[in-house]
Amino acid sequence: MKKTAKPKATTLLPTGPWVQHWAGAWSLLSCSFFGRYYTHDIAATLKTRIPHATLTSHNGMSACRFPKYELDAFGTELGRQAKTNPKAVSVWCKSLKHQTDRILRLLEKIKNQKPSAANLLRFENALRDYTAPHIAVKKVVDYLDAPTLKKHMAQLQDARLYSEPVYAETERYIKSVIQSIAKNTRRPERQIECLSGAELHAYLKNKKLPSTKTLTERFKQTALVFHNGHFEIRTGKEAEKVGKTLEQPQREDVIRGQCAHPGHASGRVHIVWKPDEATAFKNGDILVTGMTRPEYLHLFKKAAAVVTDAGGILSHAAIVARELKKPCIIGTQDATKRLKDGDWVEVDATQGIVQKK
């Protein structure tokens, strides 16, 4: 019997550099909700969007990337709105706080209930409405001129910090859904983590899951390629091709990023993806990770400096670095790939440079 050929990928990836929006230990299921929001849904609120996004996952580690020219166009439009309509920033900040309260109230209400199609839809709607003001607040700061940024920085940072608990609570809820389905289907949790949002809806409707082979393959390496709200799932060699498209060429020995807080430090690299497992992290180590969250705070305090792949000046790493006055470089794109545990490095955060010695 002749085998049916797999459908070829139809969404073309834009050429040119890609920028990381996040990187960390989040499930593919968690990531899958955001692609449609970024590339389509947020336009209803912000009047602009980012047409393409890739959500990649490799052995439980995920990253979200945007084409740089599309992100720049998105940020520039937000900056234009902020400058021509002074109330825009206040509207985004107030909306972010309101949507933060809304989604946290919902998660508190449904966290102990069995997964259902109705609760999933309520969760998705709340997460979608939260995403628009969140990305506006987080990204507009990188596209404001100095006077406008100075005017709005305090309220933007306040709203950003207020919204921080949503990440942990959202992931906790999704983890509980994963555990429930894994128990009911007797499938490993790592397989359920690799469902898409659409497949989770399908399971809640008809109790059917993709095959064990399909989900196991996805856990190893997957790329969700989004364009205008629609997406394709690519695995295996196709996912590897996506990864190569996203990689930045390494033209020099130094690693470059954006200064989040100035200063100099030297020390041994310690790459951390799961802060609760970083028991070997020592005072004076250089913390290198995809991006930080509140659970990284104890490592932040011990670190001589912090270096991240992703993030802007309102990222968690940038805010905490300014509070603790720690040298910090954000947005290097690939520090976690170009460095390894034990490397001795010098961090010149003032210039945004990391150099191995």
Q: How far apart are CA 309 and CA 203, in angstroms?
A: 35
- Final residue in a domain of this structure, among 213, 245, 277: 245
The 10s digit of each residue's pLDDT in 280-313 is 999 999 999 999 988 999 999 999 999 999 988 8
pLDDT at 96 over 90: yes
pLDDT at 354 over 90: yes
- Average the pLDDT over 29-33 and give the result: 89
Q: How far apart are CA 84 and CA 259, in angstroms?
A: 28
- Average the pLDDT over 69-91 and give the result: 95
Cα–Cα separations (whole angstroms), residue 276 to 160, 208, 280, 297, 302: 24, 34, 11, 11, 14
Q: How far apart are CA 277 and CA 260, in angstroms?
A: 26
What is the structure's pLDDT at 5?
47
Tell me if 250 is assigned to some domain.
no
Residues 62 and 106 in one domain: yes
Residues 37 and 101 in one domain: yes
Residues 181 and 84 in one domain: yes
Tell me if 7 is assigned to some domain.
no
Residues 92 and 147 in one domain: yes
Q: How confident is the model at residue 1 (pLDDT cuts 50, 70, 90)?
A: very low
The 10s digit of each residue's pLDDT in 145-174 is 999 999 999 999 999 999 999 988 999 999
Residues 206 and 325 in one domain: no
Residues 209 and 277 in one domain: no
What is the structure's pLDDT at 23?
87
Residues 234 and 111 in one domain: yes
Burial class (CB in 10 A: 0-12, 13-18, 19+), 226: buried
Tell me if 11 is assigned to some domain.
no
What is the structure's pLDDT at 253?
79
pLDDT at 263 over 70: yes
What is the structure's pLDDT at 243?
86
How high does pLDDT run on average in the chain? 92
Inter-residue contact 294 to 164 (CB < 8 Å): yes
Instruction: Indicate the pTM of the whole model.
Output: 0.89
Percent of the chain at pLDDT exceeding 90: 80
Question: Lowest-pLDDT range, 9-13, 22-26, 179-183, 190-194?
Answer: 9-13
The 10s digit of each residue's pLDDT in 308-336 is 999 888 999 999 999 999 999 999 998 99
Q: In the block, which residue shows the tokens 């359920």?
A: 192
- Average the pLDDT over 263-268 and give the result: 96
Residues 116 and 25 in one domain: yes
Residues 186 and 234 in one domain: yes
Q: CB count, 10 Å around CB of 63?
A: 25
Structural domain boundaries, residue 96: 18-245
- H-assigned helices in 59-86: 68-84
The count of structural domains within the chain is 2
Tell me if 239 is assigned to some domain.
yes
Q: How far apart are CA 79 and CA 84, in angstroms?
A: 9
Inter-residue contact 11 to 227 (CB < 8 Å): yes
Tell me if 1 is assigned to some domain.
no
Tell me if 76 is assigned to some domain.
yes
CATH at 330: 3.50.30.10
pLDDT at 9 over 80: no
Residues 302 and 158 in one domain: no
Tell me if 181 is assigned to some domain.
yes
Q: How far apart are CA 15 and CA 275, in angstroms?
A: 34
Tell me if 220 is assigned to some domain.
yes
The 10s digit of each residue's pLDDT in 216-256 is 999 999 999 999 999 999 999 999 999 888 876 666 678 99
Residues 285 and 237 in one domain: no
- Final residue in a domain of this structure, among 245, 279, 305: 245
What is the structure's pLDDT at 251?
62
- Final residue in a domain of this structure, among 219, 245, 271: 245
Q: CB count, 10 Å around CB of 8?
A: 7
Residues 312 and 216 in one domain: no
What is the structure's pLDDT at 244?
84
